[in-house]
């Protein structure tokens, strides 16, 4: 049997309105759920004055954890042995962070405050600081992660980023559709004792031409009266509305429709990371954290017509999902940061679930996606399976 312990990296609810709800929900989760979590990551922002201007460097999405929430994350680390991990992933990096000794010293002092409280894991986008070695010297017990936004997607880049001092390499989303390259990277990573992480849930196009600008503007827009999607409805909001929202070529999620595919992905990754710092926002008192899914249960109407009704379902751990063979696995049915107040479980057997991934065509597509390398213009398998007119680029929808 596969061992799922310390295999999943989940997001803290940075956008949540209270300090205690995440801690209470996590504390209420099952012991096995807690053992399966590698870390819980949260965003911060370093604010400082430079040349008469207020400058910022930190996370990309525009939401950060409060001090009370950070206290609770460190409490989770102490009480349950689940690491909390700080995220500084912006690629809008002010040059003075690495070039001006005074600003650099302030930034190191900023990090020191978290280190002194017990933080031992950090996503760090500033490769020049990593190259200088000042981070490693000042914080010798810190685990350093690169950001997925740096698009590491080859074995050579694995060695390059490891040489900078990164202990966990988060690979580019494109590797989610290139299992052969992942297997090579993973083999080499084991030789140099580097952990491999994959962002397995991601709603962005595999090769989105707007992503660099989106990531550059997201934080500013998130703090304004309107967010990115309201400001630019002609980008991802547009094609998600005009095609099947569940069609895999509109995102870069890993698809695991079968136990064979699940085992392949698990055996070639150290950590599977899930996005989610933007939500939830309210109404989460008195819940326990768990894996949740919405299986479309097959039903009969008057004994004649079969239809599918979405019904909430949950599992107390991924081990439970695996042991019960509740396919499809990961994203297509199950996500790890859900919550429930319900005591009795309502899980559907695969034969009772009306999801395309459990059909012959769906399973075939899932296997194809693991090696398709996002050659959507030359494939169109997603459109054929989902019954959509073929298109070469979602941008034109």
The string over 248-280, giving b where at least 16 C-beta atoms fall within 10 Å of a residue's C-beta and e elsewhere, is bbbbbbbbbbbeebbebbbebbbbbbbbbbbeb
> What region does 374 belong to: left with phi over 0, alpha with psi -120 to 50, or beta?
left
At residue 306, the pLDDT reads: 62
At residue 345, the pLDDT reads: 86
Go through the domains of the chain in sequence order and give each one's CATH number. Answer: 8-274 (3.20.20), 288-396 (no CATH)
- In this structure, the dihedral spanned by the alpha carbons of residues 149, 42, 295 and 199, taken in order and rounded to 10 degrees, is 20
At residue 353, the pLDDT reads: 86
Locus of tokens 């059909």? 359
Q: What is the pLDDT along the chain (397 residues), one digit of tens a residue?
A: 789 999 999 999 999 989 999 999 999 999 999 999 999 999 999 999 999 999 999 999 989 999 999 999 999 999 999 999 999 999 999 999 999 999 999 999 999 999 999 999 999 999 999 999 999 999 999 999 999 999 999 999 999 999 999 999 999 999 999 999 999 999 999 999 999 999 998 888 888 999 999 989 998 998 888 889 899 999 988 887 776 667 899 999 999 999 999 999 999 999 999 988 887 666 688 899 999 987 777 666 555 556 667 788 999 999 999 999 999 999 889 999 999 998 888 888 877 888 899 999 999 999 999 999 999 999 999 999 999 999 999 998 8
Q: Supply the angle between the helices 101-117 and 67-80 in degrees, to the nearest 10.
A: 50
pTM attached to this predicted model: 0.94
């Amino acid at each position: 049997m596969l061992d799922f312990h310390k295999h999943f990296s989940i997001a803290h609810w940075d956008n949540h309105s209270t300090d205690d709800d995440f801690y209470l929900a996590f504390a209420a989760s099952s012991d096995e759920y807690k053992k399966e979590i590698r870390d819980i990551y949260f965003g911060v922002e370093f604010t400082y004055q430079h040349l008469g201007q207020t400058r910022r460097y930190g996370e990309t999405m525009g939401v950060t954890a409060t001090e009370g929430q950070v206290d609770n994350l460190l409490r989770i680390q102490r009480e349950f042995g689940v690491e909390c991990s700080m995220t500084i992933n912006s690629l809008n990096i002010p040059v003075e962070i690495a070039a001006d000794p005074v600003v650099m010293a302030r930034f190191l002092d900023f990090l020191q405050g978290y280190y002194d409280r017990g933080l031992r894991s950090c996503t760090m986008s500033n490769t020049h600081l990593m190259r200088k070695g000042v981070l490693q010297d000042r914080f010798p017990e810190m685990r350093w992660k690169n950001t997925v936004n740096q698009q590491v997607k080859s074995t050579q880049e694995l060695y390059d980023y490891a040489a900078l001092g990164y202990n966990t390499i988060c690979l580019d989303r494109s590797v989610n559709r290139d299992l052969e390259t992942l297997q090579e990277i993973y083999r080499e990573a084991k030789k140099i004792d580097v952990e491999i992480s994959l962002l397995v849930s991601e709603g962005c196009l595999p090769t989105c031409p707007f992503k660099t600008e989106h990531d550059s503007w997201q934080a500013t827009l998130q703090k304004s009266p309107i967010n990115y999607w309201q400001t630019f409805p002609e980008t991802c909001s547009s094609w998600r509305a005009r095609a099947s929202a569940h069609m895999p070529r509109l995102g870069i999620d890993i698809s695991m429709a079968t136990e064979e595919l699940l085992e392949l992905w698990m055996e070639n990754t150290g950590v599977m990371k899930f996005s989610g710092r933007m939500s939830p926002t309210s109404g989460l008192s008195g819940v326990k954290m768990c894996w949740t899914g919405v299986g479309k249960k097959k039903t009969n109407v008057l004994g004649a017509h079969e239809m599918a009704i979405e019904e909430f379902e949950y599992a107390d751990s991924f081990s439970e999902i695996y042991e019960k063979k509740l396919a499809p696995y990961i994203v297509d049915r199950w996500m790890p940061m859900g919550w429930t107040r319900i005591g009795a479980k309502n899980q559907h057997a695969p034969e009772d679930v009306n999801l395309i991934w459990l059909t012959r065509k769906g399973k075939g597509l899932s296997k194809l996606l693991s090696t398709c390398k996002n050659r959507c213009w030359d494939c169109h398998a997603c459109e054929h399976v989902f019954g959509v007119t073929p298109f070469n680029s979602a941008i034109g929808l």
